[in-house]
Structures are given as C-alpha cells and as structure tokens.
Amino acid sequence: MTSATICCCGKACVRGRWLRSEASAGEREARKEAEGLCYCFSSTPTLQILAPRGTLSPFMSLPKRFTFRPRGNEHIQLFRAGRVAGSMDLIYWHPLALKRHRDAPLFKEREEFLLHLLRRGSNRTRVQCVGGMLLRAIDALGLKLLRPLSPKDVDYAIQRIWGQKAERGSNFRGFHAAYALRNHFSMFLRFHGKLKTRKLPRPPFAEELDSFSEFNRCRNLLPGSVESHRLKTRIFLDWYSLRGKSLSKLSIHHIDRFIAKKKAEGWSSGTFSSAIQALRVFVRYGHSQGWCPDIADGIKAPYHSRLGVPPQGRAWTEVVQLLEATKGKDLASVRAKAALSLIATYALRCSEAARLLLSDFDWKKRTVTLRRSKRGRKQMLPFPLDVRQAVLNYIRLRPRCSVRQLFVTLRPPYRPIQKTSFYCLTSRRLKKLGIISGCLGPHSIRHARAMQLLRSGSTVKEIGDLLGQRHAESPLFYAKFDVELLREVANFKLEGLI
C-alpha cells in the first residue's frame, strides 16, 4: 500500500505528481463529516488515503511523504470575484516551485503582477509561463530592487539570455520566446510604473482641445460625440499649426483653404458637414474664451443632402443567408451568431451592441433592455425565441469573468470587445459568402432591417421607435431606396380626386 494525499476536489498526490483517484463511498462520507469546506475553499486538512501500490506510477511510489494541498479552479473563481485573498500558491502548487519563487528577488512585485493577470482572466498555465519569464529577466539583469528600466535594458536582458537581439525579422532559435519575454517583462515594469518611455510632444493647441472637450461634456454630450468633436477639431488645428499662427489670427480664409484641401483629398459631403459643425462649435467656444475672433456664423459647409447618399443597406435575403451560414459550435461562431441575431432583429448600432449587459436580459419576462446611442434613450422590447436561443447558447460558452458586458474577447485576459470588432465580425462572414461590394458592416444590416420593416407594412413612426431615431421623419431616409414603394407612388392615379 502507498500513502497519498487527497483533497475534496478528487485529486490524489504523491510527491507532487498528480493522479486522478475515485474516492469510495466511505471516503465521500468522511468528507461530508469534515468540518467546513475542502481545502480548495479553506484550510481544512486534506484526507490521507491508502492506495494499492500498483495503481501508482513507479516513479511516484517513493517512501517519503508530505501533505500537498492544491487549490483548484473554484478557488480562482472566488479570487476573481473578490471573495478570497490571493497569494502565490494560487498559481504554483508544487512546494519546490513555491520555494523557488519565494527565494528569488522581487517576490512581492512579481506576486502582485501575476495575481493581476490571474484576476483579469488569464489561465493558470499562462500565468505560470509569465512567472518563469520574469525570473529569467530579473536574473539576467541582476535585479535586487525594482528600479526604472528602459526598453534598451529589456533588450539587453534578451541578449544576455539568447545571445542575440530580438529585432524585427529575427529568426534565431527561440526568438518567439524572446519576443514573449520582452512583451511580458515590459508589462511587468509598466504595471509598477518603472518602464521608462519617451515622452511624446503634446499636440498643438492641446490645452484648448482639453478645455473644448470638457465644455462638450458639460453639454451632456455622449462620450462618443465628445471624442468625435475633439478628433475633427484636432484635424483642423494640426493643419492650422503648420502655418505658425495663433488662434487670434484665425480667419474665414483659413477655413476655406482647409475645406479645399480636404475636398481634394476625397472627403465626402457628409464628412464635411460633421467636421464643419464641430469646428463651428469650437470657434464659437473659443471666442467666448478670448482665443478666436467672432467668425463662427461665417463658417459654412458645402451643401449636403441625405438624399444624395448611396444606399448602405444589404438585401434582406443576404442578411438571412448570413444568419443561416453562421452555425458553428465553437465560441467564435456562437458569439457571432448571437451578435448578428441581435443586430438584425433590433437594428443595433455597433456601440449599442457593445454596451449590452448581462443584466439587460429578463429571462422570465422575455424582454431585453436596449440603450440607444442618441441621447442615451432606453427601450424595453420583446425577446423572440430564435434570438433568445442564440444568446443563451453564447452565455453557456461565454468565459467566466467579472466583465458585465455581454460580449467579451475570446482569449484572456477577458475584456469587453470594442465597437470596431463588430465590423470585422460582420465583414469577414459576408466576404466568405462572396459578398464583397457595398457596405459590409453592421450598419448595413441596420439599414436592411429598416427597409424590411418598411416593405412589410410598418409605419414610419413604428420604424423610428424601433431604430431609436430622434426625429419622426428620419425613417423616411430609407424609403428613397425602396424602388417597389416608389413605383407604387409613381403609378398612383389622381383621376376623380382633382
């Protein structure tokens, strides 16, 4: 008989080597009678069991014994939820590995960084690899105390370990590991604020731009609108700063030259309209602050009509084909199926899909709460069966993490996906179907949904309410692209009415 240590997780251990062991009924009863929880959740001693020598590997059946108390994935989930404190033994189980890390320099700093990665969603195996990389870098640099280091110091550590520099296009033996060490050791230094980086020069008129952004926030604009106004104003200020003049010398002549230059570069009338609107607000605010002359009323954008914009919507048959083709069982396909179903059903914008929370779905009442981008308006809409099933399939496979948003990244550290990711999610699958012309993003599905509702007989107000439009006449924009409806208007007879 050979002695082994077993925890309530059902894992047996002899000298740090793992062996799956099925506990007998008597042992399960003994675990139930033990006070508290198993060691994965508390410090309750593990059970000592006897196993036949033949059931263990020859190299595991050694006479010496020690108590080996592992901490399983359940404890890591509690740590990520903030219910238990973290320590290095969450990452390393073997006593020799723990001793190696505790005896090495900068133990406290390394422990904080590794627990940070574990909390963000990285799995234990990945964190263990990063811990090994940190030890190699610290040993190569001879660090005893953490001090500020530059990227050149990180490259010096790589050169000491591999004998070569990890430059672009390098192909020496182990260059993949060298790149990984450079990235993770730089993250470690940046996490502790010890990475020396070259300070980039501030953009021209940076103080004015910061003040303008704060002014827009006080106007209760959405964060996306604040960033859009800042970006478009900065494009003009970058161009104007090349003239070497202050804002007090700004004139309409400069605005006209800027418009002519961007028109030659291919800006559309819609881009001009939004850029000039942001610039007009900036000049008006600059005049109130004493930066600019009072020329805001003279800033005019080229004529722009929404009726001149080419159709952006896909045919509804293409949307149905896209949904039917997205039927894989892997996490990426299931996530795409849920996202496309929600976008096609509720005509969501990218930002609206990215803002969806797990708490927005009421499974008892079978409703979903949407937050529209225009003025942050909320909607509570019914939850159809097919969409509900697609979302439920994704939630079952969704990685367990503390992120509240519905859609998260596929790989750790898990974080909410950005609104730009929805374009890649949509365009790649449309291209696989052979659809390569026209608009390929989620907004084309939004337009297709509006036109599909219009053809099915929904009123303009009903479509506007579903799409979250601010103005009642906004859905009329989609009617100009429906040739069948326009043909009915053209064929309408006025006989007997005049």
pLDDT of residue 79: 79
Q: What is the pTM of this model?
A: 0.64
pLDDT per position as a tens digit, 358-392: 999 999 999 999 988 766 678 888 999 999 999 99
The pLDDT tens digits of the residues spanning 68-85 come to: 444 567 777 777 777 778
Q: Which CATH architecture has domain 316-484?
A: Orthogonal Bundle (1.10)
Cα dist from 41 to 69, 125, 368, 442, whole Å: 11, 20, 36, 45
Q: What is the pLDDT of residue 112?
A: 93
Mean pLDDT of all residues belonging to the chain = 78
Q: Please, are residues 402 and 80 in contact by the beta-carbon 8 Å criterion? A: yes
pLDDT in tens, 136-157: 999 999 999 999 999 999 999 9
* 225: CB partners within 8 A, 6+ apart: 216
Q: Is the pLDDT of residue 276 over 60?
A: yes
Mean pLDDT, rounded, for 446-473: 76
Where along the chain do its domains lie? Answer: 2-70, 78-191, 206-304, 316-484
The pLDDT of residue 7? 41
Of these ranges, 5-19, 220-234, 294-308, 327-341, the one predicted with the greatest mean pLDDT is 327-341
**In this structure, are residues 230 and 272 in contact, taking their beta carbons and an 8 Å threshold?**
no
Cα-flanking dihedrals φ and ψ of residue 435, to 5°? -95, 105
Res 15 pLDDT > 50: no
Q: Which of 66-80, 391-405, 424-438 has the lowest mean pLDDT?
A: 66-80
Cα–Cα separations (whole angstroms), residue 28 to 7, 10, 265: 11, 10, 75
pLDDT at site 72: 64
- Going by pLDDT thresholds of 50, 70 and 90, the confidence category of residue 315 is confident
For tokens 């939630």, what's the residue?
395
Q: What is the pLDDT of residue 200?
A: 74
Average the pLDDT over 457-470 and give the result: 73
pLDDT at 31: 43
Question: Mean pLDDT, to the nearest integer, of 411-436?
Answer: 87
CA atoms of 253 and 295, how far apart (whole Å): 11
Whole-angstrom distance, CA of residue 340 vs CA of residue 364: 23
Residue 29 identity (one-letter amino acid): E
Q: Which residue has the higher pLDDT, 490 or 199?
A: 199
Superfamily (CATH H level) for 206-304? Tyrosine recombinase, N-terminal domain (1.10.150.130)
DSSP code for 53: G
Q: What is the pLDDT of residues 36-65, one digit of tens each?
A: 333 333 333 333 333 343 443 333 344 444
Kindly state the average pLDDT of the residues 153-179: 85
Q: Is the pLDDT of residue 3 over 80?
A: no
The share of the chain scoring above pLDDT 70, in percent, equals 77
Which pLDDT value is given to residue 10? 41
Q: Which range among 299-308, 332-341, 467-476 has the greatest average pLDDT?
A: 332-341
DSSP 8-state assignment for residue 408:
B
Check residue 449 and give its pLDDT. 86
At residue 479, the pLDDT reads 56
Share above pLDDT 90 across residues of the chain, in percent, rounded to a whole number: 35
Span 242-259, pLDDT tens digits: 888 889 999 999 998 998
Tell me the per-residue pLDDT of 343-353, one tens digit each, with 9 for 90 and over: 999 988 888 89
- Is a pLDDT exceeding 70 seen at residue 16? no
What is the per-residue DSSP string for 276-326?
A: HHHHHHHHHHHHHTTSS-S-GGG--PPP--GGGSPP-PPPHHHHHHHHHH-
Per-residue pLDDT of 472-481, as tens digits, reads 556 666 555 5
Instruction: Give the 3-state secondary structure of residue 328.
Output: coil
Q: Is the pLDDT of residue 341 over 60?
A: yes
